[in-house]
Amino acid sequence: MAADQDHEVDLLVLGAGPAGLFAAYYAGFRGLSVVIVDALPEAGGQITAMYPEKLIFDVAGFPSVRGRELVAALVEQADRADPIYLLGRQARTLVALPDGGSRVGLADGLRIDARAVLLTAGLGEFRPRPLPGAGNRTDGSVLHFVPHLSAHEGEDVVIVGGGDSAFDWAHALHPIARSVTLVHRRARFRAQPMLVRTVRELGVPIITEAEVAELHDGPSGLDAVVIRLADGGVRTLPAQRVIAALGFVADLGPIETWGITVEQRTIPVDTTMRTSRDRIYAAGDIAAYPGKVRLIATGFGEAATAVNNIAVSLDPAAHLFPGHSTET
């Protein structure tokens, strides 16, 4: 089935973060067809958007794993289920179907009829904070995250921000780009001190108490960034790319209008991960229950629990325990 047509599937997974990707794998393991929808243009959710280059130390089986490598492995694992990815698309509406399933309408007009829905939307839909002074540029010269580091080889890159993401990008791009400069409007940073120290030791120029004033184009596109200093002065930096690492705003968006119980931007679930509506489940950071600990590892277990219970809800004759993957 193509990505530009309506779909009928057993399971619709809303959210392509770690929990959603693992749920897609498990859906295939249980013999369920699956579609994954995410508003972000890349799989990986918050990891891809905010810390793809950061080392993660609390995923079972990995003493340490880089964010983008974990996402790549999860995508490879999910591919066993042959999922259909609808990325860069927002789910807008959900209505009940006579057979107990749901019809989900996307912002672009596509419809997905699913026998069950699993919400793995993390903290909700991510919208990057806009970069003041950048205008409404659509030529790719202003980015909010970097899917492929190699695309910036030989470029002059200006990174705006003072959090972990900004310093992560500076650290990762330093050996690849022609130049990297970090600009932050304050003298203090939200990033981890060790990460700030590492970037400083690399010799990356860091300009504080400064803001982007203008972006200048040359014959081939973005050519320079003008920054305004706190003392009233200005500096012009060469730049073919600006990375606006100013953070993201997240909210549940249309999900809150779907008749599902929502409490403090999370969705209460029972021990099967079912929400207040039949055949609609939740896993990962969006799911809430007493004692919940928000970890990637927790989301994996919740995804498996949800999918196995979904399999039984769709076929009451099925066993809850799916057997061991080594037996297949």
| Model confidence at 89: pLDDT above 90 | yes
Is 126 labelled a binding residue?
yes
* Distance between CA atoms of residues 188 and 178, nearest Å: 26
- Of 201, 223, 244, which residue sits at a domain end? 244
State whether 27 and 112 are in the same domain: yes
| pLDDT computed for residue 249 by the predictor | 78
**C-alpha to C-alpha distance for 265 and 147, rounded to whole angstroms:** 28
Residue type, 293: V
Asked whether residue 49 falls in the same domain as residue 107, the answer is yes
- Let me know the angle formed at the C-alpha of 209 by 206 and 215, rounded to the nearest 5 degrees: 75
Pair 25, 120 in one domain: yes
Query: In sequence order, which residues have a C-beta less than 8 Å from that of residue 158 and are 6 or more positions away?
Result: 181, 182, 183, 212, 225, 237, 239, 241, 242, 243
Tokens standing for residue 115: 């026998």
Clarify whether residues 155 and 181 are in a common domain.
yes
Q: Could you tell me if residue 160 is left (phi over 0), alpha (psi between -120 and 50 degrees) or otherwise beta? A: beta
C-alpha 47, offset from chain centre: 6
pLDDT of residue 1: 47
The verdict on whether residue 38 carries a ligand-binding annotation is: yes
For the chain, the average pLDDT equals: 92
Nearest by Cα to 227 from 244, 207, 247: 207
Paired tokens of 121: 């939307």
Q: Is the pLDDT of residue 132 over 90?
A: no
321 labeled binding residue:
no
The domain total for the chain is 2
CATH number of the domain at 230, please. 3.50.50.60
What pTM value is reported for the model?
0.80
The two structure tokens encoding residue 97: 């179907």
15-19, 55-59, 131-135: which is most confident: 15-19
Query: Is the pLDDT reported for residue 216 higher than 50?
Result: yes
Closest CA to 45 of 76, 73, 14, 66: 14
C-alpha of 222 from chain center: 27
Higher-confidence position of 126 and 233: 233
Does 85 appear as a known binding residue? no
120 plus 252 within the same structural domain: yes
Ligand-binding annotation for 51, yes or no, is yes
Asked if residue 272 and residue 232 are part of one domain, the reply reads: no
Q: Per residue in 276-305, is it b (16+ CB within 10 Å) or e — as a string? A: ebebbbbbbbbbbeeeeeeebebbbebbbb
| pLDDT at residue 200 greater than cutoff 50 | yes
Residue 298: domain span: 7-126+248-327
What does R_g of the chain's alpha carbons equal in angstroms?
22
